[in-house]
Structure 1
Amino acid sequence: MNEAQRVMTEIELMKGALRLAVRPSLGGAITRLSFDGIDLLRPWDGSDSVRRAGCFVLAPFSNRVADGAFEHEGCRYSLRSLSPEHSLPIHGVAWKRAWQVLEQGSDSLVLSYSHRAVGEAAQDWPFDFDLEHRLQLTDEGVILRLSLRNVDRRSMPAGLGWHPYFLRHDACELSFSARAVWENDARNLPARRTPVPASWDFATPRSLGEPALDNCFVGREGPVSIRWPGQGVALRMEPEAALDHLVVFTPPADMGFFAVEPVTHANNALGMDNPDAHGMRTLGAGEALQVGCRINLARIPKAP
């Protein structure tokens, strides 16, 4: 198989009851995750839109950047939007680029993407970086690891995360704990940090319902649990401590999915007065940011 074929092919990993598919050419996206034949992520619809896949990487930042610009070490940098659905830059660069296959096994995969801020690419992100994504199936579930290395001569701000779209199935239940949440303004940008209101509090497992969330929770502690009693499946997502923010997106239930995104920083952290205080990291030349997330899957008694 030549390199072009390796990039374009949808790659399937298998281990026991687990099936995980990835399409490197489609932003390196996970296109399917199933357990005992039950889809847990929204299956890719076959289109050329990565937003219709199951999960993609957020790098070198998550969510939106206000006014399409940010400041770093006294310089102001403008960013263009890479998504026709959004007027502001969103989700970084990597989800809009083809990835390369570095390693491939029956139950593991290593992908890479290299960004060089040359020509028009500098409008997408003004610093050079290398990104690596490791995916490993285990007897318990999936281990994901991201590493972003600054290969520029200058320091650069950086953030990382994942954007999974989970299927609702039937009476889906969600639980996670966070210290606070950002309320949004009319542009869907964080405007005010508040304690988590009762209607958005999932510290105790409860039905997902329709809370109309598209908000960033701050200070996530412990795992994120998702249960599908009608399917008899439970998912436990364990992001590492650096992924202490959680973006939760709950569109109308009839759309059939919701998103719970472990990320390192607040929405629009790049556009805030002190990005580092809101989770952005500053990487010196040659420095790397690494994060990991474990997803454990198990059978539970099926609801009647």
Structure 2
Amino acid sequence: MPELLALTEVELQHESLRLSVCPALGGAITRLSVDGIDVLRPWDGSDSVRRTSCFVLAPFSNRVGDAGFVHEGVRYALRNLSAEHPLPIHGVAWKRAWRLTAQTSTSLRLTFTHQPEEDGVLDWPFAFEVEHEIKLDDTGVALQLRLRNTDSRSMPAGLGWHPYFLRHETCRLQFEAQAVWQNDTQNLPSQKTPIPAGWDFSAEKPLQQPGLDNCFVGRTRPVTVRWPDKRVELTMHPSESLDHMVVFTPPAEMGFFAVEPVSHANNALCMDDPITNGMRVLPPAETMQVSCKLQIRRMTRTVQ
């Protein structure tokens, strides 16, 4: 991880909307606010990317079991890059510095390049490049990811974002999905089931403490988060291929929760049919692209 002195933020602004990024700290978004009100948890200034506002998940999301996976008949080992987790998690890009390759007052582009050299082959065995474009406009924030396979072999690939939303004093959530993965003792998916009533947010309701760290399948509609006391509403519009969603709701006193639009199920790399569970196979030089719009608006009055 980079030295603290190198963790410089780059700031964007469009009217009342402000966003900051730290390229050296996993290319993470470190703050997102409207009218001075934070909608994502602001970075605490430490050298931990898990204390930022949002980071990119590439080339896979969430956990991988068995310390590796099989692709086209070859088994590849993966090492764990996070001391806080016993299994490989969230890919490689969040643990490496990115390069700022383009910038205006309201937009920027970050680039991350991975080469499987020396120990890097245990981080991810294939060469790839990711570009992350961030743009502010009148309606909110537009995010776009492009992952290109720069290897001479095909590679499995997945993408997503890991935003940490603030709870504030009141928080209401709405999303719709078709099913959810129940987890085993390693927090890996073990059984896909209908969504239990306590986890059903198809009608907007207070977040409370559902105790989730689960992957929902078959998201078809936008996700809405409202903070009535702050008079702020955020609607997340992931692209169609981001039809899985990891929802993480730690105890309320921690002050945040995560709703992560992703392209595949947790541990899809190790499932019998990774492609059915959302993984892509990218031939050499092929690109995978996803997007997510964060539409942010101020409500004219407090609605409970």
Q: TM-score range by the shorter chain?
A: over 0.9
Instruction: Name the CA distance, whole Å, in 1 between partners of 2:273 and 2:244.
Output: 16
Instruction: Name the CA distance, whole Å, in 2 between partners of 1:221 and 1:128.
Output: 32
Instruction: Name the CA distance, whole Å, in 2 between partners of 1:96 and 1:151.
Output: 20
The answer on 1:212 being equivalent to 2:195 is no
Letter in 1 for 2:274: P
Q: In the alignment, what sits opposite 2:302?
A: 302
Q: In the alignment, what sits opposite 1:233?
A: 232
Shift of 1:8: 4.5
Q: In the alignment, what sits opposite 1:34?
A: 33
Q: State the SS of the aligned residue for 2:121.
A: helix
Q: In the alignment, what sits opposite 2:3?
A: none
Q: In the alignment, what sits opposite 1:249?
A: 248
Identity, % of aligned pairs? 62
Unpaired runs of 5+ residues, structure 2, are 1-5
Instruction: Name the CA distance, whole Å, in 1 between partners of 2:67 and 2:84.
Output: 15
Unpaired runs of 5+ residues, structure 1, are 1-6
Letter in 2 for 1:60: P
- 1:10-46 per-position Cα deviation (integer Å, ceiling 9, x unaligned): 0010001100000000000000000111000000000
Letter in 1 for 2:105: S
Letter in 1 for 2:112: Y
Instruction: Name the CA distance, whole Å, in 1 between partners of 2:303 and 2:25.
Output: 36
Q: How does 1:15-94 map to 2 (within 5 A)?
A: 15-94=14-93
Letter in 2 for 1:196: I
Instruction: Name the CA distance, whole Å, in 1 between partners of 2:214 and 2:8.
Output: 34
The answer on 1:133 being equivalent to 2:132 is yes
Q: In the alignment, what sits opposite 2:221?
A: 222
Instruction: Name the CA distance, whole Å, in 2 between partners of 1:247 and 1:9.
Output: 29
Shift of 1:302: 2.2
Instruction: Name the CA distance, whole Å, in 1 between partners of 2:169 and 2:161.
Output: 24
Q: In the alignment, what sits opposite 1:282?
A: 281
Shift of 1:303: 4.9
Instruction: Name the CA distance, whole Å, in 2 between partners of 1:143 and 1:250.
Output: 25
The answer on 1:9 being equivalent to 2:8 is yes
Letter in 1 for 2:206: S
Shift of 1:79: 0.2
Q: In the alignment, what sits opposite 2:148?
A: 149
- 1:121-180 per-position Cα deviation (integer Å, ceiling 9, x unaligned): 000000000110000001000000000000100000000000000000012000000000
TM-score normalised according to structure 2 size: 0.97
Q: In the alignment, what sits opposite 1:293?
A: 292
Instruction: Name the CA distance, whole Å, in 1 between partners of 2:266 and 2:225.
Output: 23
TM-score normalised according to structure 1 size: 0.97
Aligned residues: 299
